[in-house]
Amino acid sequence: ANGSAYFNMKERSPLSPLCKKHRDLDEYAAGVRPVIKALYNSDLLVKWRVVTRSLVDAVLTIEAYIPGDTVPFMISNHTASEQERKGGYFASYPENQKFEALPFDERDRASVIIVQRFLRQKGCEVARFLFQNDFYRTIDNICTNCIQMKLYKDACDVRLLLSDIAIATGFDWIDRHVISLAENLEAAKKNKLAAAIYSELASNDSIFDGAGRQASQTLMHGHAGLAYKRAGDYVNSEAQYIESLRLEGKDWEFTDPAENNASNTLRNLILLYDNVCQGYCCGILTSDEDVHLMKVGCVVFALLGRAKIIRVSGGSFQNVANSTARTWRMLKPKFAKERNALNAFLDACAKPNVNSYQITLLSYLKQENIEFPRLTGKQKEAAQKDFMMNHRLNGKTAARDFLATGSNFESFESFGCANCDKMEGEDEKFMVCPCKTAKYCCKGCQREDWNKHKTTCPLRKKK
């Protein structure tokens, strides 16, 4: 685990994020202070049991007691049904004056903090009494509860607990849960850490590979590229996107990415270059690396414009597309032909690393020295404000929207082909949309369902 982004996470702590927040007990009524102290930074008595109602149905019950009390402060029941492929969670509160005296927001947090503290102590033991899927669904419900309360750091904490428990107990598909952790880290604005974990999952020597690889390397590099872009690390973002495209090979469905999500990685790569160009023009991105990246991006715009991958008529990439009408003249004459331009871009993407990719693209220019104009005055101020809002704040919002609207583990697993409803057999592997909300038994079904799926696909919002 040396050098592992996952195993070296500093977020591991004896205390959950909720417990780390300072709480001045003087701000609470005298009758509430012992409860707040017990919940967040003192002793708490917890009794638990697992009741297996059938081979496919189990209930985990957690009773929490304030020290010295004989009546439970709170009872949490977590149900998981393998037969119905779903889970449920609800908390009941016996007649307890201490609980009723709590402010309403503290009542909601109490169920989260009790489960967090319980899992830290007994998580591995509980996992041995439940089926894997039952345990996964139980914790997934808790994480969903955190997201609904906008406790994004605590959602990360729960996902990290689940991943650690899965590794310690030898559960299958560990990478599935580490991916969910990375998605929650993005929502908590820890984009660089999320990107490092995605990249680790994608590597050939990944420590998670022995536990089964549910997600493709191509998908993980694409997610890493998006997380790096949200962190403002455009150099590493480009490297991840190019690796994703290289692994895809030349069998792309080249249609206008402004209107079709057939190549989501290509779509995000274009958005990355567009961000760099906007940041340079308004004076925010000024380093030599940024200028170099912008030159590469302009070549990509020009090639894809000539290849009619980006249409000058508009779409989501209207500003980029319009620029191709000017930038393609920077290329050597032979790339004016549509087929030559497309092959040139494909050849660059096939290079073994991002450095050779960039060198290849820049070799297509008529001359090396290119001057790029910059905005001034009020135009510059307005563009800077737009850049900061759209490319940083929106990244956080998109990550959180993705968690709120994306399908969770149990509901996605229960579905068959999104087009024909065929169920996945033991000896066959369905194609999975990168958004993880739809899967297909064949490419034909994916094409037939696209017009319907593109209206709800979370990744079309993920920019």
What digits encode the pLDDT tens for the residues 407-461?
A: 333 333 445 678 876 766 656 677 777 666 678 888 888 888 888 777 766 655 4
**Which residue type does 284 have?**
I
Q: Determine how many CB atoms are found less than 10 A away from the CB of residue 101.
A: 15
> In the predicted model, is pLDDT for residue 351 greater than 70?
yes
Higher pLDDT, 2 or 355: 355
235-243 mean pLDDT: 93
| pLDDT the model gives residue 131 | 74
Judge whether 241 and 265 are in contact, CB under 8 Å: yes
| pLDDT the model gives residue 241 | 92
Within 128-232, residue ranges assigned H as helices are 132-148, 152-169, 174-187, 191-202, 217-230
What digits encode the pLDDT tens for the residues 141-174?
A: 788 888 888 899 999 999 999 889 888 888 777 8
Instruction: Map tokens 């990478």 to a residue.
Output: 175
| pLDDT the model gives residue 182 | 92
- Tokens representing 87 are 């889970």
Higher pLDDT, 347 or 393: 347
| pLDDT the model gives residue 257 | 44
CA distance 279 to 150: 30
Higher pLDDT, 52 or 435: 52
Highest mean pLDDT among 21-30, 304-313, 413-422: 21-30
6-30 mean pLDDT: 82
Query: What is the overall mean pLDDT for the chain?
Result: 77
Q: Worst-scoring range by mean pLDDT, 111-120, 365-374, 414-423?
A: 414-423
What digits encode the pLDDT tens for the residues 195-215?
A: 999 998 888 666 665 554 556
105-133 mean pLDDT: 83
Residues above pLDDT 90, as percent of the chain: 11
Compute CA 238 distance to the chain's CA centroid, rounded to the nearest angstrom: 17
Q: How many helices (H) and strands (E) does the chain have?
A: 19, 6
> In the predicted model, is pLDDT for residue 316 greater than 70?
no
| pLDDT the model gives residue 259 | 45
Of 151, 193, 198, the closest CA to residue 175 belongs to 198
pTM of the entire predicted model: 0.78
Judge whether 114 and 46 are in contact, CB under 8 Å: yes
